[in-house]
Amino acid sequence: MLTANKLMPQGGGLAPVLLKRAATVELDWDVRQKSRFDITDSQGRQIGVFLPRGTAVRGGDVLIAEDGSLIRVIAAPQPVLVITHCTEHGTPFDLTRAAYHLGNRHVPIELKPDHLKIEPDHVLAGMLRSMHLIVREGEEAFEPEGGAYGAHGASHGHSHGTAPVGPVLHPDAYSGTHAHHDHDHDHGHEHRGHGHSH
């Protein structure tokens, strides 16, 4: 079995022709957040990956095997919850609030300008719907934030060190009483029904 113990974030300046010729491997977030795992690349090679502890592998990163060959990592589609604000009864700021409350729970979150993504969790989905957010199930690549001092993020190709994934905020910021404020949407806006499945 080959081993790979080097990682080039986002290909680190490799020539496009080299990236195009590189073997590939599709990995979900559960695997990519580990520093040691086994893979089978697109050429059928078994490779043991041994990276520095705390390293998270992102889609677009390139692993370097001991023989010098390259393996380009693709973020595999996986079950996620996609969270958007309700245009009828909310504002885009609702997403900021949602990110804050999810951060309180140390939940890995992928942040986008118009939506959030988290791994499936029916309790969190209920909390988010109670905040008037739209929550739908999807099958998409998942690239959560690495934290302010975390491993390299998807947005830039260099590392600043390691830290737990997700923002770390005060755990009492979201009171349980607010989470169950019995918002039954009797104003004609049933959040689980009409297409956007709150």
pLDDT for 182 beyond 80: no
Proportion of the chain above pLDDT 70, given as a percent: 74
User: Which pLDDT does position 170 carry in this prediction?
Assistant: 36
Side chain identity at residue 140, one-letter code: E
Nearest Cα neighbor of 33 from 134, 125, 163, 129 is 163
User: Which pLDDT does position 51 carry in this prediction?
Assistant: 96
CA end-to-end span of the chain, whole Å? 47
Give the pLDDT mean for 7-26: 94
pLDDT in tens, 116-126: 999 999 999 99
pLDDT in tens, 71-84: 999 999 999 999 99
What tokens appear for 131 in the block?
């905040």
User: Which pLDDT does position 177 carry in this prediction?
Assistant: 35
Measure Cα distances from 6 to 1, 45, 107 in Å. Answer: 16, 17, 28
What mean pLDDT value characterizes the chain? Answer: 81
Chain centroid offset of residue 175 CA: 25
Cβ count within 10 A of residue 193: 10
pLDDT in tens, 28-45: 999 999 999 999 999 999
Q: What is the spatial order of strands in the sheet that 133-140 belongs to?
A: 110-111, 116-118, 78-85, 133-140
Give the pLDDT mean for 158-172: 39
pLDDT for 48 beyond 90: yes
User: Which pLDDT does position 193 carry in this prediction?
Assistant: 39
Q: Which of 2-11, 129-138, 179-188 shows the lowest mean pLDDT across its residues?
A: 179-188
- The length of the chain is 198
pLDDT for 167 beyond 60: no
Between CA 57 and CA 73 the distance in angstroms is 8
Between CA 124 and CA 117 the distance in angstroms is 12
User: Which pLDDT does position 47 carry in this prediction?
Assistant: 97
Side chain identity at residue 139, one-letter code: E
Is 149 exposed, middle or buried (CB count within 10 Å of its CB: 0-12, 13-18, 19+)? exposed
- DSSP-derived secondary structure for 81-95: EEEEE-TTT--THHH
pLDDT for 189 beyond 90: no
